[in-house]
Each structure stands twice: as structure tokens, then as C-alpha cells.
Amino acid sequence: MAITQYVSIATIPLLIILSAFIAVWIKSRRNRRPPQIPINVRVEDQTTTKEGEPSLKPISVNYHLTRQCNYKCGFCFHTAKTSFVLPIEEARKGLTLLKNDGMEKVNFAGGEPFIVKRGAYLGELVRFCKEDLQLPSVTVVSNGSLITEKWFEKYGKYLDILAVSCDSFDPETNRLIGRCQNSTKKDHLESLYRVRDWCQKYEVAFKINTVVNVHNKNEDMNAYISELGPCRWKVFQCLLIGGENAGKDAIRNAEGMVVTSQEFKDFCERHKNITSLVPESNEQMKDSYLILDEYMRFLDCTRGSKDPSRSLLDVGVKNALKFSGFDEKMFLKRGGKYTWSKADMKLDW
């Protein structure tokens, strides 16, 4: 009996050390980037050189640095499939590679980009891109609910444009869409107006993004948009992406939220007198964005889902770009290149 107790007591330090080792190992596995070749991409597809194709430049890149979000919008097409966020040094490395290959504008998105370390992670990348990389344009898309004035005080001078997503000026419609924070019942519209005021105070261009869906397709937003005065009002048609908001493996099901092309045109026609209006149909939107995921893989949407390239951290920007599905002609046709540096905008602060 005494010997058994002695053995049990003697093994306690060993068990503590073993537990600590296992915890460190689990954390390291969680923070690892995926293999160079994703499971759903054939090896030969990612190693064959495409002859005769012009060399693309990543002029404007949308970096979805996280998939996590505090909202649950029913049509979301970049859902919380993982909780992964790159270590900030790797993110800086990837952004530097993109700048060296021609990137002029980076747009940080999510998920909700302010959810990571309460915005500090995003803020440091915004500062790095503007101050160290000297990018002409650094922009962010957010739902606005997690932004604080302290963030603007520290990082506002490095940011050119802040876009806040708003799909309705009716609180009940926002709740139907999922454009709200259920845990606090905070009014999304209060966040929208508060962020607009901070943008004016700290000289950041203010933008609004709206997704037209079955819940807001008949809404008249003219008075509200005129009052808010965004530099751009981006109006998107609700888009289905396999594995994101459509199909058996999707976290969201947006099939009941889609509007027809005519319904989208009717919405845009109703708001045609808003000078900042920039409408984008599904046809214009689907392949005209360079989308970079949380692992710094380009996402090809040409087949109706998001098929990842290898990470540019592993194969370089040019090799990853070959499998981005990016339609540069449509990017230019939809007006993807515009006055995107606040230094060049004629804004009345």
C-alpha cells in the first residue's frame, strides 16, 4: 500500500510536465498553416505552367484575415469555417511579397477584422501597410460594432477608407438578415452613425456596403444614404457560393435570400440619384475580386465555390495568382480601379 502511494505521488511531477507538453503541442498544431496543397486541389493543377497567359499583378487585394464574426448574416459568403489567424510576422511577410509584386491597395476584411485582439492585430497591419510598405491605399470592411474611438486615435491616420456594411435602416429587417449582435442586442444603426462621425473626426473616408436580398429589396434608402454622405455606396446583389452559403457543407443557407436580376436592377433604379452609388451584379462581382483567405491562399470562385491556391507564403505571389480565377478585365470594367487614396480625394472633413 505504501509503495503504491509513493509511486502515485512520484508520478505527479511527470504528469504535470506531460500535460504542459501536450497543451503546447495542441496550440502549435492549431496555429499551423495548412499543407501546401489543399485536399480538394489536384497536385497537377497547381504545378502546371499556364502558357500564353499575361502576367497578372495583384493591384488590389482583399485579405480576409479572419473568418470569425460576432454577427450571423444569413447570406454571408465568407463564413467561420476556421478560427485561424496568421501570426502577425507571417502576415507582414505576405503583404510585403504582394507589395513587391505590384499591390497598390489592400482591403482588410473578415469575418469581422476587428474581432482579432480587439482590433490591435488589424491596426498594426494597417499601420505597417501605410507606414512601412507605403501603399497608396489601405482600406477596411467592418460591421462597425467592435470599433472604438481609441482605435481611430491610434490608427486612423494610416487608414484611407473604412467601409461599414449596412443592409437596412429598419432595425427589424437587420435582425431578420442577422446583421446584429444577439448577445448584447446592440443596434447596428447606432454603430453605423457612430463610426461615420469618427471617420469625419479622424479624416478617414467613409463608405457603405449593402447586399440586396429578399428582406430589403423594396426598401427606399435615399434619405438615409444622403444624410450619411458616404464617398462610395457599394450595392451588391446577393450571391451564392458553394460551401459558404449554399450546399450541404455550408454554414449558411442563403438560397431563400437571393433576388432576381430584375429585382436588383429595380433597387438600383430606385436609388439612381445617389451620386456615390456603385452597383455590382453577381456577374460583375463573382470573379473580379482578388480574394486572399486567412492562410494567404487566393480563392478561385469561377466554379461557384471557393477553390484555394497554395499559400503565397509557400509558392510566391506569381505562382499563387495563376490559380486565383481573377478576371482582370471585369475588375477594370466594374470600376475596380478608382481614386482610393484619401490624399487624392476632395473630401470636406
Q: How far is CA 215 from CA 6, 37, 172, 278, in A?
A: 69, 40, 10, 20
| CA nearest neighbour of 62 among 348, 305, 293 | 293
Q: Could you report the per-residue pLDDT of 141-182, keeping only the tens digit for each?
A: 999 999 999 999 999 999 999 999 999 999 999 999 999 986
Q: Using 50, 70 and 90 to split pLDDT, how confident is the model at 15?
A: low
Round the average pLDDT of the chain to a whole number and report it.
89
Measured between alpha carbons, how far is 87 from 271 in angstroms, rounded to an integer?
43
Q: Rounding to the nearest 10 degrees, give the CA dihedral for residues 88, 90, 94, 100.
A: 90
205-212 and 232-237 strand pairing: parallel
Which residue do the cell numbers 509503495 mark?
3
Q: Cite the active site residues.
A: 69, 73, 76
Which residue do the cell numbers 481614386 mark?
339
Measured between alpha carbons, how far is 280 from 285 in angstroms, rounded to an integer?
6
Report the share of the chain in percent with pLDDT over 70.
Answer: 83
pTM of the model: 0.86
Measured between alpha carbons, how far is 87 from 28 in angstroms, rounded to an integer?
11
DSSP structural state of residue 186 = B
Measured between alpha carbons, how far is 46 from 324 in angstroms, rounded to an integer?
11
Q: Could you report the per-residue pLDDT of 289-299, keeping only the tens digit for each?
A: 999 999 999 99
Q: Is the model's pLDDT at 23 over the cut of 60?
A: no
Q: Using 50, 70 and 90 to split pLDDT, how confident is the model at 315?
A: very high
Q: Using 50, 70 and 90 to split pLDDT, how confident is the model at 3?
A: very low
Q: Using 50, 70 and 90 to split pLDDT, how confident is the model at 26?
A: very low
Residue boundaries of the structural domains of the chain: 56-333
| CA nearest neighbour of 280 among 293, 298, 261, 299 | 261
* Residue 33 CB burial class (10 angstroms; 0-12, 13-18, ≥19): middle
Query: 56-333 has which fold?
Result: TIM Barrel (3.20.20)
Question: Contact 298/265 with Cβ under 8 angstroms?
Answer: no
